[in-house]
A and B are shown apart, each in its own frame.
Chain A
Amino acid sequence: MEKSFFINVADALRNWLTNSLGFSATATDLITTAIWTLVVILFILMNLIVLVWLERKFSAFFQQRRGPNRLGPAGFLQFPVDIVKVLGKEDIIPAAADKRVFKIASTTLFITALLAWAVIPLGDGVILKDMNIGLFYFIAIGSTSTISFLMGGFASNNKYSLIGGMRTVAQMISYEIPMVFSLLGVVMMVGSLKLSDIVAAQKNIWFIIPQLVAFVVYFISTVAETNRGPFDLAEGEQELVAGYFTEYSGIRYAIWMIAEYGNLVAVSIIASIMFLGGWNAPFGLTFIPPFIWLLLKIYFMIFLFMWVKWTYPRIRIDHLMHFGWKFLIPVSLANILVTGIGIYVYRMITG
């Protein structure tokens, strides 16, 4: 298969660094890694621009209003204006807050959101580290974000924030379990945790078809994981004002938002890779580059997330817990069992 455009660029860069400039292999690795990290950050920020605009436009569409339409074509320049506004706001830290924790909480969330991107492929081979435990790494890093929410909620010294932080812990740890279980079905079918293997295995059939139940479970769990409506209990603006980020203002608030959108894109990519065939083109439409296909699938997932958020009222925390522990976990476990039996039967038939 023809190599992707991104890989050609990377190869050219490597050659230039080692052969023309005479860097050692380690130095070349370091430089390319740094460049890749920069690319990922840019990719997240570029997504952010589109996502903030899309969220406004979609919510306006669902709510029968126009949304932003004054700044730039169809309000597309709303985002830079927002950035200026956010940067111009005073950075307020409550007097009695645990200042050090307060300051690093949003940053640590951003870092964990960024770390998860190390194993996320943006195309065939376009990946920082195609680890054989890629999926495991993604889940492990993803679950550490819980601590950032708790830090923010606790350090604010605000009761609303504290309750929000506590809710996050309960919610995210509970929903981590069905999320992992739902991915296990796919892992069992492929027999690998490597994301590129998982995509390769979907050449003929996307896993959403044999693993539909798992997909639904994954989708619901990730809504909770990304703290989006109707599971946005950590913010709970109706009862907790804004939950864990009540006291955050200006750029610190913006970092929470960037991290949240970063997570949203990340889980959408994982959904596309695990269930929607990754960068594989459907119906033999291979003339469209794989990266574009992946992007389309990611944005389809994001559209689903937004659709759900702007349609449903918020669920109550104990209902959420019941739903997670008493429904999603048994269902995802049953899915694993059925998948196991299915694989066994398949092997018996095919020998």
Chain B
Amino acid sequence: MLKTQELTLNLGPHHPSTHGVFRCVLNLEGEYITKAVNHIGYLHRGLEKLAESRTYTQFIPYNGRLDYVAGMLNEWGYVMAVEKLLGITEEIPERAEYIRVIVGELQRLASHAIYFASMALDVAGATAWFYGFRDRDEILDVLEMVSGQRLMHNYMRIGGVAADLPDGFEEKVRALLDKLPACIEEYEGILIGNEIFKARTIGVAPVSKEMALDYGFTGPNLRASGVDYDLRRDEPYSVYDRFKFNVPVRQGGDTYDRVLIRIEEMKESVKIIEQALKDLPDGPIMAKVPKVIKPPVGEVYSRIENAKGHLGFHIVSDGSTKPYRTRIYSPCFVNVGIFPEMAKGLHLMDAVVALASLDIVLGEIDR
């Protein structure tokens, strides 16, 4: 009888597929995983604590550092929470809300494009990776027009947005929207429909409905497991109740479904932006908000459908200019929690793909 020995392998933090800051200690039997233990915190910057030593307005730019591939949505989530705390949710000008929807959905598209790209790279489809980045770059061009920044936008403000849409913005977005469906079709051609990709993802690391709910999945990962729940439709915030869009749901919950659901969501985002652009009203872009924000004593919990799931902000106010306590509920942190259970019994190659399919961004996990 041959003697075999279990191998302990550090997947990360220096490993290319764990984005450089995530560490998972794997026990391997051959190339099959018998045990996985997550280690996080390599990117920990104490953002929640930072929030408590800054004024409400000063913390807005830090949100871009949370989920740095969907910064606009994070800012939006934060300013929404503060607005709720101030009780000015109703006073936000319509134009500002529409602009928020447009840039938010653009950011969601960009985030899903990067998801597709990194997913492709994790199955070694380097060409498909470039396709995703090509489209993301064009979306970022548009976002740069409004905020002057490509990654850390700092565009949302408590009570509205920082600046009105620049000239030529609408035309540029329309041109982009005309192009995107064809690009998404291209994703399907280069990767999604590929037999090798299907073999690598179908049936790999399935998450059942119950398991997804138990682990607190939200967002696309939850919907891939068959739970039809989307904050934009079920607890509409901003002006989402005015748009017609579908919430894609898939039943399998495997890696393939998690990829497909995002591709389908991209198509829906395109629809939302088209409607928002069509109905974009004129008017102010900022509510009347005091220069120094001093919310009344109390606390608030507000959440937003981020590109990766529910991003929640729990803010406690003591009536001063700085929050007494800020707590961020981040979807990536929740999603990565399932990885040890998911990885058990998987092939090493599949584990990398399964991890990619969860759509983790370490800035949000470590905060």
Q: In this complex, what residue of B is CB-closest to A230? A: B196
Instruction: Given A238-B121, A313-B200, check contact A62 B349 (CB 8 Å).
Output: no
Which residues of chain B have a CB within 8 Å of any CB of chain A? Answer: 7, 9, 15-17, 31, 120-131, 134, 190-191, 194, 196-197, 199-200, 347-352
- A318 adjacent to chain B (CB < 8 Å): yes
Set A64, A159, A313: member contacting B134, Cβ < 8 A:
A64
Q: In this complex, what residue of A is CB-closest to B351? A: A239
Nearest 8 CB-CB pairs, A to B? A314-B124, A313-B125, A313-B123, A63-B130, A239-B352, A63-B127, A62-B127, A239-B349
Set B31, B194, B351: member contacting A163, Cβ < 8 A:
B31
Write the A39-62 contact mask toward B (1 if CB under 8 angstroms, else 0).
000000000000000000001001
A152 to B218, CA, bound (A): 45
Cβ of B191 to closest chain A Cβ, rounded Å: 7
Instruction: With a 10 A CB-CB cut-off, give which of A239, A316, A317 has the most chain B CB atoms.
Output: A239
Q: From DSSP, what is the main secondary structure of chain A's interface residues?
A: loop
Contact A317 B131 (CB under 8 A): no
A239 to B350, CA, bound (A): 9
Instruction: Given A163-B31, A239-B17, check contact A312 B347 (CB 8 Å).
Output: no
A-B contacts, 27 of them at CB < 8 A, read: A59-B126, A63-B127, A63-B131, A64-B131, A230-B124, A232-B124, A237-B16, A237-B124, A238-B121, A238-B123, A238-B124, A238-B352, A239-B17, A311-B127, A313-B120, A313-B125, A313-B128, A313-B191, A313-B194, A314-B124, A314-B196, A315-B196, A315-B199, A316-B199, A316-B200, A316-B347, A317-B347
Q: In this complex, what residue of B is CB-closest to A159? A: B9
Q: From DSSP, what is the main secondary structure of chain B's interface residues?
A: helix
Contact A310 B199 (CB under 8 A): no
A317 to B130, CA, bound (A): 25
A229 to B123, CA, bound (A): 11
A22 to B199, CA, bound (A): 67
Contact B348 A163 (CB under 8 A): yes
A90 to B129, CA, bound (A): 31
Instruction: For chain A, residues 237 to 252, give those with C-beta under 8 angstroms from any C-beta of chain B.
Output: 237-239, 241
* Contact residues in A for B124 (Cβ distance below 8 Å): 229-230, 232, 236-238, 313-314
Instruction: With a 10 A CB-CB cut-off, give which of B121, B127, B347, B348 has the most chain A CB atoms.
Output: B127
Contact A315 B200 (CB under 8 A): yes
- A100 adjacent to chain B (CB < 8 Å): no
Contact A159 B347 (CB under 8 A): no
- A319 adjacent to chain B (CB < 8 Å): yes
Contact A319 B199 (CB under 8 A): yes
- A65 adjacent to chain B (CB < 8 Å): yes
* Contact residues in B for A315 (Cβ distance below 8 Å): 196, 199-200
Cβ of B200 to closest chain A Cβ, rounded Å: 6
Instruction: For chain A, residues 309 to 340, give those with C-beta under 8 angstroms from any C-beta of chain B.
Output: 310-319
Cβ of A347 to closest chain B Cβ, rounded Å: 40
* Contact residues in B for A313 (Cβ distance below 8 Å): 120, 123-125, 128, 191, 194, 196-197, 200
A319 to B197, CA, bound (A): 12
Instruction: Given A239-B352, A316-B349, check contact A64 B123 (CB 8 Å).
Output: no
A238 to B11, CA, bound (A): 11
Q: In this complex, what residue of A is CB-closest to B134? A: A64
Q: In this complex, what residue of A is CB-closest to B350? A: A316
A8 to B133, CA, bound (A): 55
A311 to B123, CA, bound (A): 12
* Contact residues in B for A318 (Cβ distance below 8 Å): 347
A312 to B200, CA, bound (A): 12
Set A63, A232, A317: member contacting B349, Cβ < 8 A:
A317
* Contact residues in A for B197 (Cβ distance below 8 Å): 313
A241 to B16, CA, bound (A): 7
Contact A159 B127 (CB under 8 A): no
* Contact residues in B for A65 (Cβ distance below 8 Å): 130
A317 to B122, CA, bound (A): 15
A312 to B124, CA, bound (A): 8
* Contact residues in A for B199 (Cβ distance below 8 Å): 315-316, 319
Write the A267-310 contact mask toward B (1 if CB under 8 angstroms, else 0).
00000000000000000000000000000000000000000001
A64 to B352, CA, bound (A): 26
* Contact residues in B for A319 (Cβ distance below 8 Å): 199
Write the A68-112 contact mask toward B (1 if CB under 8 angstroms, else 0).
000000000000000000000000000000000000000000000
Contact B349 A236 (CB under 8 A): yes
* Contact residues in A for B128 (Cβ distance below 8 Å): 313
Q: In this complex, what residue of A is CB-closest to B10? A: A159
* Contact residues in B for A237 (Cβ distance below 8 Å): 16, 124
Q: In this complex, what residue of B is CB-closest to A61? A: B127
* Contact residues in B for A314 (Cβ distance below 8 Å): 123-125, 196, 200, 349
A64 to B117, CA, bound (A): 14
A316 to B353, CA, bound (A): 11
* Contact residues in A for B16 (Cβ distance below 8 Å): 237-238, 241
A313 to B194, CA, bound (A): 8
Cβ of B208 to closest chain A Cβ, rounded Å: 23
A96 to B351, CA, bound (A): 28
Q: In this complex, what residue of A is CB-closest to B7? A: A159
Q: In this complex, what residue of B is CB-closest to A235? A: B124
Contact A317 B31 (CB under 8 A): yes
Contact A312 B125 (CB under 8 A): yes
A65 to B129, CA, bound (A): 12
A316 to B125, CA, bound (A): 13
* Contact residues in A for B351 (Cβ distance below 8 Å): 239
* Contact residues in B for A311 (Cβ distance below 8 Å): 127, 190
* Contact residues in A for B31 (Cβ distance below 8 Å): 163, 317
Q: In this complex, what residue of A is CB-closest to B32? A: A318
A311 to B197, CA, bound (A): 11
Cβ of A31 to closest chain B Cβ, rounded Å: 46
Contact B349 A310 (CB under 8 A): no
Cβ of B340 to closest chain A Cβ, rounded Å: 17
Q: In this complex, what residue of A is CB-closest to B348? A: A239
Contact B15 A312 (CB under 8 A): no
* Contact residues in B for A236 (Cβ distance below 8 Å): 124, 349
Cβ of B4 to closest chain A Cβ, rounded Å: 12
* Contact residues in A for B122 (Cβ distance below 8 Å): 238
* Contact residues in B for A239 (Cβ distance below 8 Å): 17, 348-349, 351-352
Contact B126 A241 (CB under 8 A): no
Contact A312 B196 (CB under 8 A): yes
Q: In this complex, what residue of B is CB-closest to A242? A: B16
